[in-house]
């Protein structure tokens, strides 16, 4: 039996899932209760004030604002957060093409107090997609590589469905079954899944590689509405022409 | 230090927070991993199919579908769930004026496997509002009595701001500081809070009773858009004229 439970844990991590409804993006706050050091994953420009207020109220110090990839559907809040919360460093994959204070490589760790997030390269949606896994492998922040019962598109931004399939199978489905999956987006009001569930019920990634490639080639999605504004901005932490 | 952490716990509870974006309603699924018995809190008519699919995939048996109160902003999914998942019982406060299989009183317990939810009457938003607290007091489902940095309105449906203030202070703020607060709604993308935080940062309920009554009397909110449809429907588990 696997389960997802919120609890007050002495050795635990402070954790908050936050939602931005226009782009349906999840932002995640993680912090160490002892040192108060915090990491924010995938902040959105429009919700920076909400996030800063929460960080202040909880008495946290934002150490790193990290993007799972160079987003095409919203402008990142990392640049503005650096201005509002002195000392915050931005981070993104070195394969993203974007600028940041910390350029992440596969196997790197982002530490906050006695906790850490380990970086796994999971390209396919873009070349610079990473999945961030907590040190105890209880939570994985999968960006657009793996969504709940879905996955990110592969028809823009160096997308490659074969690469995405291999990333998910080797880097995410190899995690423990009870590991909680927290994606960058959800469009159906779902907040969390598990490795176990996605290996069993994901309608795309449970298929063979060949079938997956065919599914992804036939999605016929419209061009991302904000891509021409968001990508140039996100290459420089969201501060381009904003 | 308090914290909110998701984890795989052997003795834990399966827990899912689900969102319905039109009414900004949170539905909560709780289940016992051993017996697979489940409880659904505040299901919404429009998302019943999503919820039934998830319950099926997780191999759960829905025992009780419970409403924290007779909602005015959306139609409950309890009646439809009873039709789709045989054996499900509906539950609501006996002070709600609504019909259900189980009429809840203060101090009652809703059990699922080796877990339970304890009923606390928290009137004020309506006469029949309850807060559901897990047996270990780690989570409280507060309906519209206490929202994250807010609270439900008190100008409809037998609302009384003085009663709401007393309910929150005596029945919710008396819980442990680390107890997680899961409300029926959020309009800012926030998913969870704690008793500690609301006692410290709730802009309304940290005030004196006199100031709170004044704040609530001057909100000047429009009439709930769906009240004339939703309330009659919710008095009969959402199955009236649907
Ligand atoms: Fe993306
Ligand atoms: Fe309500």
The rounded Å distance from CA A168 to ligand 2 centre is: 41
Residue B35 main-chain phi, psi, to 5 deg: -80, -15
CB contact under 8 A, B21 and A189: yes
Cβ proximity of B38 and B116 under 8 Å: no
Nearest-neighbour CA in chain A from B158: distance (Å): 31
Interface residue A174 vs chain B (CB under 8 A): no
Q: In chain A, which residues have their Cβ closer than 8 Å to the Cβ of B190? A: 16, 18-19, 50, 54
Q: Is A176 helix (H, G, I), strand (E, B) or coil?
A: coil
List pLDDT tens digits, range B15-67.
Answer: 999 999 999 999 999 999 999 999 999 999 999 999 999 999 999 999 999 99
Start-end of H helices in chain B: 48-57, 78-84, 161-167, 195-201, 209-217, 227-234
Interface residue A170 vs chain B (CB under 8 A): no
List pLDDT tens digits, range A75-90.
Answer: 999 999 999 999 999 9
Helix (H) or strand (E) holding B16: strand B14-20
Neighbours of ion ligand 2 (CB under 5 A): B 71, 144
Q: What pLDDT sits at residue B241?
A: 53
Interface residue A6 vs chain B (CB under 8 A): yes
A53's tokens: 């207020």
Cα distance between residue A194 and residue A176, in whole Å: 9
Cα distance between residue B152 and residue B47, in whole Å: 22
Interface residue A199 vs chain B (CB under 8 A): no
Q: Which ligand is nearest to the CA of B72?
A: 2
Residue B194's closest chain A neighbor by CA? A8
CB contact under 8 A, A18 and B200: no
- Considering the domain delimited by B14-218, tell me its CATH architecture: 4-Layer Sandwich (3.60)
Q: What pLDDT sits at residue B153?
A: 96
In sequence order, the 6+-apart residues with CB closer than 8 A to the CB of A84 are: A48, A52
Among partner residues A14, A34, A178, which is closest to B8 by beta-carbon distance?
A: A178
The answer to whether the Cα torsion of A52, A226, A93, B3 is positive or negative is positive
* DSSP state letter for A221: P
Class of residue B228 by CB neighbours under 10 A (exposed 0-12, middle 13-18, buried 19+): exposed
The domain segmentation of chain B, as residue ranges, is 14-218
Cα distance between residue B155 and residue B157, in whole Å: 7
Q: What pLDDT sits at residue B152?
A: 97
Interface residue A58 vs chain B (CB under 8 A): yes
Lowest mean pLDDT among A3-12, A59-68, A88-97, B116-125: A3-12
- pLDDT exceeds cutoff 80 at A179: yes
Residue B49's closest chain A neighbor by CA? A188
Class of residue A75 by CB neighbours under 10 A (exposed 0-12, middle 13-18, buried 19+): buried
Q: Name which residue leads in pLDDT, B118 or A225.
A: B118
Cα distance between residue B51 and residue A190, in whole Å: 10
Q: What pLDDT sits at residue B224?
A: 86
Which of B1, B8, B38 is the best substitution to test chain A (most A C-beta atoms within 10 A)? B8
- ipTM metric: 0.91
Cα distance between residue B24 and residue B142, in whole Å: 15
B92's tokens: 């609501």
Binning pLDDT at 50, 70 and 90, where does residue A27 land? Answer: very high
Cβ proximity of B161 and B217 under 8 Å: yes
Among partner residues A8, A15, A191, which is closest to B19 by beta-carbon distance?
A: A191
Nearest-neighbour CA in chain B from A158: distance (Å): 31
Q: What pLDDT sits at residue A197?
A: 98
CB contact under 8 A, B4 and A15: yes
Q: Is A143 helix (H, G, I), strand (E, B) or coil?
A: strand
Q: What pLDDT sits at residue B7?
A: 37
CB contact under 8 A, A138 and B8: yes
The rounded Å distance from CA B37 to ligand 2 centre is: 27
- pLDDT exceeds cutoff 60 at B93: yes
- Give the number of A-B residue pairs with CB atoms closer than 8 Å: 127
List of E strands, A105-203: 109-112, 115-121, 130-134, 139-143, 180-183, 193-194
Cα distance between residue B79 and residue B45, in whole Å: 9
Interface residue A13 vs chain B (CB under 8 A): yes
List pLDDT tens digits, range B108-155.
Answer: 999 999 999 999 999 999 999 999 999 999 999 999 999 999 999 999
Q: Which CATH number fits domain A14-215: 3.40.50.620, 3.90.600.10, 3.40.50.2300, 3.60.15.10?
A: 3.60.15.10
Closest CA to A180 of A132, A116, A212, A144: A132
Interface residue B156 vs chain A (CB under 8 A): no
The rounded Å distance from CA A126 to ligand 1 centre is: 8
Beta bridge partners of B44: B76
**C-alpha A206 chain-centroid distance:** 21
Interface residue A19 vs chain B (CB under 8 A): yes
Interface residue A4 vs chain B (CB under 8 A): yes
Interface residue A241 vs chain B (CB under 8 A): no
């Amino acid at each position: 039996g696997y389960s997802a439970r919120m609890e007050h844990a002495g050795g635990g991590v402070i954790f908050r899932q936050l939602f931005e409804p226009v782009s349906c993006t999840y932002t995640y706050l993680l912090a160490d209760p002892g040192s108060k050091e915090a990491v924010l994953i995938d902040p959105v420009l429009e919700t920076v004030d909400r996030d800063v207020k929460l960080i202040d109220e909880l008495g946290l110090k934002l150490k790193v604002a990290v993007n799972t990839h160079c987003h095409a559907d919203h402008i990142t809040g990392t640049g503005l957060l650096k201005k509002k919360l002195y000392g915050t460093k931005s981070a993104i994959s070195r394969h993203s093409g974007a600028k940041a204070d910390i350029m992440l490589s596969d196997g790197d760790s982002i530490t906050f107090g006695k906790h850490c997030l380990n970086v796994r390269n999971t390209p396919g949606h873009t070349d610079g997609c990473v999945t961030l896994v907590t040190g105890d492998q209880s939570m994985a922040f999968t960006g657009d590589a793996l969504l709940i019962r879905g996955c990110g598109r592969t028809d823009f931004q160096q997308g490659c469905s074969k690469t995405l399939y291999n990333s998910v199978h080797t880097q995410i489905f190899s995690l423990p079954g009870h590991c909680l999956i927290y994606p960058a987006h959800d469009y159906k009001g779902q907040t969390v899944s598990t490795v176990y569930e996605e290996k069993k019920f994901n309608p795309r990634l449970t298929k063979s590689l060949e079938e997956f490639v065919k599914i992804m080639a036939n999605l016929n999605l419209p061009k991302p509405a904000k891509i021409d504004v968001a990508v140039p901005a996100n290459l420089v932490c969201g501060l381009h022409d904003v």
